[in-house]
Structure 1
Amino acid sequence: MLVSVKKQELLTITSALENTSYFGGDQEWYEKNWNREAGCGPTSAANITAYLAAANEGVKALYPYDTMDKTNFTKHMEEMFQYVTPGVMGVNHVNKFTEGFDRYLKERKINLTPKVFEADKKPRKLREVKDIIDFVKEGLEADCPLAFLNLSRGLEKSIQGWHWITITAADITENGIRATASDEGKKIDFDLGLWYLTTKMHGGLIYYS
């Protein structure tokens, strides 16, 4: 079963100067070196806020620009960095993400509630793929991309460790889930179920409704 946000194309970012397009933001667009190195969390926050603003008339204040061109989106990323701000270890816990994101929402008088799934709630041997499948399905059916924190890749080697990306779709089977996500301006595909069963550190997913 395929499930996704209603309009993945809303995360298309264009650049007339480069004559190209991207799928979501890329932390390499930040101006400062540290921001480029540690900015995956606020980049994911920028993706989510921009998508929600485009998909829902009532929350347009989440993205204060008329277009999704690279120049405007980079400005939005810089703004989100002031809220979802990496510390010396980056944004290394789901709570650090939601604290900053919620402050951004509050200042714009927008009422959205974070839904959080933490990978460290159970020992790995007790984890069931169904738990993460249900959560991702709920988020995508609520038409919200999911911020995904992966500190340890486990056996899923096609994703980066210690990194945030933005899940926009999933292919769900009886026993597994493959996810589609925005990572550094590109669309990637990976086995989220394998990650969940084999990751060696905490991590998690977040969506807003």
Structure 2
Amino acid sequence: MVELSYFEIDGAIGGNQDWFSNVVMHIGGCAAAAACDSCIYFAKHFGNTGWYPFDVEHLTQEDYVRFSQMMKPYIKPRVGGVKNPEWFVEGFYRYLKDHFYPGRPVLRMEVVRGEASQDQAWEALKSRIDQGLPVPFLLLRHHNREVFEDYIWHWFMVIGYEESKEDLLVQTATYGEKKTFSFAELWNTGFEERGGMVLYDLDFENPDF
């Protein structure tokens, strides 16, 4: 398994939406949580140039919840959820613009829609993990509700992959846990309405000033 060195908070893998005491965020704050996780990961691995407003060397649930409330106005829960990857990108860009930090690498984002072919999506995902970048993933409906029960209509992070003759596997992080799924099954949902992925690129040569 090619796996990113993902952060932990009080023993949890990444953040956990269940920590949110705000009712709206507890139910529908998964997109904001994905953005918060991304910022913390960038701060841990590429220097905390304004990515995370608290102590990145001493992560706590309390600070994570406070951070999620800062992200909420930009990637806010809504009726039907943040069901369009472009909404995530637009909100995350606005957050970074409003929380400018000189010298921070420029984050660029590209959407791979759920309608893309499995091969195209797999190669795109692998390329980002190989560059040391996590991948926010949106799953809407899925025909296999038993396997993906906690992932339906949900944003989560992909933090690893494994390629073999038998299958293509991805490792995910959400609700403070890691899980492994078949990528073919994850991508081919059986429904016309699909989510997708957000691909990150960090530009270190032309940082913000």
Normalising by the residue count of structure 1, what TM-score does the alignment of the two structures yield?
A: 0.84
Q: Runs of 5+ in structure 2 lacking a partner?
A: 202-209
CA distance in 1, matches of 2:107, 2:8: 23
> What residue number does 1:46 align with?
36
Does the Cα contact within 8 Å between 1:150 and 1:162 map onto a contact in 2? yes
- Decide which of 141, 162, 168 is 1:171's aligned counterpart: 162
Are 1:68 and 2:59 counterparts? yes
Cα offset for 1:29?
1.4
Cα offset for 1:108?
3.0
> What residue number does 1:13 align with?
9
Q: Runs of 5+ in structure 1 lacking a partner?
A: 15-20, 122-126
Give the helix-richer structure, 1 or 2: 1
Cα offset for 1:197?
2.3
Q: Which runs of 4+ in 1 moved over 4 A?
A: none
Normalising by the residue count of structure 2, what TM-score does the alignment of the two structures yield?
A: 0.84
> What residue number does 2:183 align with?
192
Please give the per-residue CA displacement for 1:69-109, whole angstroms capped at 9, x wherever unaligned: 11111211221222111221111110110011111122233
User: How many aligned residue pairs are there?
Assistant: 192
CA distance in 2, matches of 1:174, 1:48: 31
- Decide which of 70, 76, 100 is 1:79's aligned counterpart: 70
> What residue number does 1:145 align with?
134
Cα offset for 1:155?
3.5
Superposed CA RMSD:
1.8
Does the Cα contact within 8 Å between 2:112 and 2:199 map onto a contact in 1? no
Does the Cα contact within 8 Å between 2:20 and 2:65 map onto a contact in 1? yes
Are 1:94 and 2:89 counterparts? no
Percent identity over paired residues: 23
Aligned with 1:62: secondary structure?
coil
Are 1:119 and 2:114 counterparts? yes
CA distance in 2, matches of 1:156, 1:196: 14
Residue identity in the other structure for 2:88: F
> What residue number does 2:200 align with?
208
